[in-house]
Chain A
Amino acid sequence: GAGVSQSPSNKVTEKGKDVELRCDPISGHTALYWYRQSLGQGLEFLIYFQGNSAPDKSGLPSDRFSAERTGGSVSTLTIQRTQQEDSAVYLCASSRGGGYSNQPQHFGDGTRLSIL
């Protein structure tokens, strides 16, 4: 498709389980970002991939969170041993890369994660 695709759109799981969220960026975009949006909160940066460079993981809230990007395209965000405070909408975005700070980001519609 033409836009950023995320799956699943909704995920309900029990506390303590692991979850994987997938993001398929726009073709040709070398930069990929993960954000989290909790109810009533702004988007919170989690992690950023740019080409073959080491990812910027500075926003990951704990070591239960990890992400990878295979082949410079699809990315997976993994949350281990989920907690109720992990409930949020997880948004993925991509942009033309180069590491510059002036590129618009194109967002998917997110995965709504609910931890019971």
Chain B
Amino acid sequence: SQKIEQNSEALNIQEGKTATLTCNYTNYSPAYLQWYRQDPGRGPVFLLLIRENEKEKRKERLKVTFDTTLKQSLFHITASQPADSATYLCALSFEGGGNKLTFGTGTQLKVEL
């Protein structure tokens, strides 16, 4: 069966450290992988998109890697802050799929002082 797996347990880290979240998928060949942030009671907010032929993408304190051989994406937040505390979702889309997204269940990140 097709699966997108993210760390099911919450990730607690100390302020200033780098948070690393994983997204693993099976039985997919996505064209694009996106990361979203979701706060309680709110809709997801887009963060980054990476294409299958890109290895890495950065935006400010965020970095995403995409390894289509391992079928894995890593999402890094450097110099983490308490305001980064949220649930982070990875999502896949496919060529010809019309941009509908298939989401993982998300990883809850808590950055502590």
Chain A residues near B (Cβ < 8 Å): 4, 31, 33, 35, 40-45, 48, 50, 56, 59, 91, 93, 95, 99-110
Contacts and interface: CB of A to CB of B under 8 A. Distances in A.
A110 B94 CA distance: 25
Contacts of A108: 43
Interface stretch (B13-21, B62-70, B71-79, B99-107): B99-107
B11 interface: no
Nearest to A98: B99
Contacts of B36: 107
A104 B49 contact: yes
B94 A101 contact: yes
A106 B105 CA distance: 18
Contact of A103 (B45, B99, B105): B99
Across the A-B interface, give the 10 residue pairs with the lowest CB-CB distance, nearest first. Answer: A107-B43, A104-B46, A42-B105, A43-B103, A42-B103, A101-B93, A48-B100, A109-B43, A101-B99, A45-B100
Interface of B: 4, 31-32, 34, 36, 41-46, 49, 51, 89, 91, 93-106
Contact of B43 (A4, A41, A44, A102): A4
B32 A42 contact: no
A50 B100 CA distance: 10
A101 B104 contact: no
B109 to A, nearest CB: 16
Contact of A45 (B45, B49, B96, B101): B101
Nearest to B94: A101
A45 B102 contact: yes
Q: Looking at B41, B94, B96, which has the most chain A CB atoms within 10 Å of its CB?
A: B41
